[in-house]
Each structure stands twice: as structure tokens, then as C-alpha cells.
Amino acid sequence: MIMINCHQKRCAEKLILSIVFFLSLSTIATTVLAQEMSLFSFGKGKTQVRLYADYFCGPCRNLEPKIEYLISDLVKRDKITIIFIDAPFHKYSSLYAKYFLYIISEKKEISHALKARSMLFEGSKSPIEEQEKLEAFIQNKGFKFRIFDAKPVFAILQNYIREDQINATPTCIIINGTKKEAFYNGEDIIKALEKLK
């Protein structure tokens, strides 16, 4: 029989409590990450598409209307999971990216997200550069939004930008199993998405 003194027993209890606390934190962190990931990804397909754009990028503004139907169709048929990642290359890109997240947090549907992106691209043409004016523009277009702390989501999106070494927009990264491909211009992106049909 092994004898355990009071000090050893207290140490063992503290160790068990520490492990339980750590596992609880780990579960909470995983749940929060999953919620944040689910905020900006659409679809349940095995093929992951990361579409990098900037609302102030002319080629991005021209590309997205051409691929709206294609993206919507691929998502609805569970061919892809798409993540829209707004690259902060322009001075006001982060403001627009933040409001895109606010809009989709209010209503998370692919058709709604695509309409919101189209509306934000329209706003960038003017360009609308002040938060109050952008909010008024969004509301005038009939969109609702919910303001929340977007920093954790931006941190995840920044990690994607670093991981995929994004330095220009539009860029589309397609990940299918272990295969990862990058496409850098409108025509190539359209062809790559059409192949996923």
C-alpha cells in the first residue's frame, strides 16, 4: 500500500484542478475559434476556396460580379467552402472589411454576403471614406449590421494572408485535400472556379 501525505495529496489535487482548468480553456478557445470561423466561411464543401480582394481594387471590382452566380451555385451544391478575405492594401480597406463582417453577422447567407460585397464595392467607387457616411450608405441600401469586436476575426484573416503570402488582389487560393493552387487574375480565377463544377 502506498502512503500519501497531506502535502502530496494537496499537490495532486492542484494538479488535477489545473488540468481540468486547462482543458476547459482549450475547449472554450476551440469553440470561440469555430464560431469566428463560421462567421466568414460559406458552404460545406471539401474544397476550400479563399478569395482575396480589396474593395478599392479595380480588377476585384470587375471580377466579383462575374463570379457571383458561380460561387453561389458551388456553395449551394456543397462543392466548396469559401472564405472571403479582404486584404488591407488601401487606406480604407479595413473599414470596409469590418462592415462586411458586421453585415454578415446579422444575416449569414451566401446570397446576402455577395449582395453586401457588391454594395461595398459600389461604395468604394465614390469613394466613401468616413465611418458615419459608410454606415448611412449601408443603411440606405437596406442592409442591417451588428457591430461586434472584429479583432479576433481579423487576426485569423491576417494569418491566412501571411500563410498564402498574399501581396496582390484579386487572388484565389484553392485547397483540395493536400493540393493547394493559387490563381492571380480574373480570367484564371474564373476558369479555376468553373473547373470545380
Cell numbers for 142: 437596406
pLDDT over threshold 90, residue 110: yes
Cβ neighbors of 37 (< 8 A, separation 6 or more) are 156
What is the model's pLDDT at position 40? Answer: 76
29: nearest Cα among 156, 147, 164:
156
What is the total residue count of the chain?
Answer: 197
pLDDT over threshold 70, residue 128: yes
- Domains of the chain, by residue range, sit at 42-195
**pLDDT, average across residues 122-141:** 96
pLDDT digits 0-9 by tens, 71-91: 999 999 999 999 999 999 999
pLDDT digits 0-9 by tens, 51-73: 999 999 999 999 999 999 999 99
**pLDDT, average across residues 2-25:** 43
The average confidence (pLDDT) of the chain is 85
Mapped onto helix, strand or coil, the DSSP state of residue 181 is strand
pLDDT digits 0-9 by tens, 141-187: 999 999 999 999 999 999 999 999 999 999 999 999 999 999 999 99
Q: How far apart are CA 12 and CA 182, in angstroms?
A: 52
Q: Are strands 171-176 and 41-42 parallel, antiparallel or unpaired?
A: unpaired
**pLDDT, average across residues 33-52:** 79
- Tell me which CATH code domain 42-195 carries: 3.40.30.10
Decide: pTM greater than 0.75.
yes
What is the model's pLDDT at position 130? Answer: 96
101: nearest Cα among 57, 59, 156, 62:
156
